[in-house]
Structure 1
Amino acid sequence: MTETNIETLIRSLVTPLLKHPEALTITQDDSGKYHQYIVDVRKDDVGRLIGRQGHVAAALRTIVEGARSRRSNSKKVRLLINDHRH
């Protein structure tokens, strides 16, 4: 069984949701017990990525977490969306 490239998966899920897909950047950070992926898009695309009451973001996180390797020593995957508030 092959391992899923999480960054490619995130890019393929997020790109159709955006008005400006060329501005999409995904940064990976391995910290502690997580493989953390930070999704950065233009400010006017953030709402499209989060969705009403966070439903789209929650669905994306569910899919990404489900795609990770199930080995016992595998780190969990965390998907963060930069919402430009900070």
Structure 2
Amino acid sequence: MTAVVKNEAFEVHHELDTCGLFCPEPVMMLHNKIRDMKSGEVVRVIATDPSTQRDIPKFCNFLDHPLLDQNEQDNQYVFWIRKREH
């Protein structure tokens, strides 16, 4: 799947659906997913918990994974995250 965010096109390698889950589960699932990904791969995360708007950017910042973009669509929060290069 290819995504275009902020006029930048990039390939999305993984999708993580955490809809219906509440803190801390979405971030825990993201952590596990990132661990299984290769450097440079992108994951699209879909969530319904409003706290993910705060928690996922903090997770990315703390572990130095680029948060390519985030937005809200149809009462869902969507994040595009690239696994950091080693």
| Structure number having the greater strand percentage | 2
Check whether TM > 0.5.
no
| Structure number having the greater helix percentage | 1
TM-score between both structures, scaled by the size of structure 2: 0.31
TM-score between both structures, scaled by the size of structure 1: 0.31
Instruction: Report the structure number with the largest CA radius of gyration.
Output: 1
